[in-house]
Structure 1
Amino acid sequence: MYFLTEYYELYFYSFFILLVSSIILLLCYVITLKNAYTEKNYGYECGFDPFSDARNPFHVKFYLISIIFIIFDVEVAFFFPWSICIKELMFFGYYTMFLFLFILLIGFIYEWKKGALEWE
C-alpha cells in the first residue's frame, strides 16, 4: 500500500497524458476529411517524386557534402560540453580544443583546395 500512495501523482499524470493523447488522436481521426486522392498526403522529398523508382543515381557531390556536414556536426557536439566546463579545464582544455579545431581547419582547407566544395 505504501507503494501506491507514494507515487499517486506519477500515476495520475501518466493516466492524464494517455487520456489526453487518446482524445486528440480520436478527434483527429473523426474531424479530418476523407480524401480519395491519397497522393496529396505524401511528403515532398527533396525535389524528387515520391512515386518514381527509388534507384535513381545520385551525384557524388551529395555524398561529399554529407560527409563534410557530419564531420562539422561532430565538431559542434564536442563544443557544447567543452563550453560548459571550460573553467575547470584551464590550459589543458584550451590546448586540446584548439588542437582539435586546428586539425579540422587543416581538413577543411584540404577539402577546399581539392575542390570538394565546388559544384561542377
Structure 2
Amino acid sequence: MPEPEQPGQTVVVAADYFSSYSVVGLLAVVGVLFVTVAFGANRLLRPAVPTPEKLLTYECGVDPVGEGWAHTQVRYYVYAFLYVIFAVDSIFLFPWATVFSAPGFGAATLVEMFLFLGFLAVGLLYAYKKGVLTWT
C-alpha cells in the first residue's frame, strides 16, 4: 500500500474502491434473480384457462358497451400536477438545507433557492389567476 504524501491524507486503493461496487452489483443480481424466479413461479403455478369472458375488456365493473369516448374533468389532473410540482419542491428543499449549512455555499445556494421558489410562486400565481385553484 503506498504511503500518504502528507499526514492526515488517505490513499484509496483501487481494490477497495471496486469491492464496494461489487456489493452493489451482487445486490442488483440478487434482485433481478428474485424477480425472475417470482415471475417463473407465477407462470408455472397459475391456472391458465382462457374463456371469452376472461378475454373481454373490463374496467371498474362496467361492461364495454357503446363508444370508448368519455368526458373527464381536467381539474383533477391539474390538482395532481400541482401536487407533483410541490412534491418536487419539497424534495429539492431537503438537500438544499444540507448544502446551505456547509461553509462557503451559503450565499450562492440562498440565491438559487429564492430563484427556484420564485418560479414556483409565479406558476402558483398563474394557476390562481386562471381560476384553477377554485373547486366549483
2:114 to 98, 108, 117: 98
1:64 to 69, 78, 83: 78
After TM superposition, give the deviation of residue 56 of structure 1 in Å: 6.1
Gaps in structure 1 of 5+ consecutive residues: 1-48, 50-54
* Larger RCO (CA under 8 A, 6+ residues apart): 1
RMSD of aligned alpha carbons:
4.2
After TM superposition, give the deviation of residue 115 of structure 1 in Å: 0.4
Between Structure 1 and Structure 2, the one with more helix by share is: 1
After TM superposition, give the deviation of residue 58 of structure 1 in Å: 3.0
Q: Percent identity?
A: 33
Rg bigger for which structure? 2
TM-score norm. by structure 1 comes to: 0.53
CA–CA distance in structure 1, aligned partners of residues 88 and 70 of structure 2: 29
Q: Deviations over 1:46-77 (max 9, x none)?
A: xxx9xxxxx86431110110111111110001
Aligned length: 108
1:107 to 109, 123, 126: 123
Gaps in structure 2 of 5+ consecutive residues: 1-61, 63-68
Per the alignment, residue 84 of structure 1 pairs with 98
Q: Deviations over 1:80-106 (max 9, x none)?
A: 101112122210000000110011101
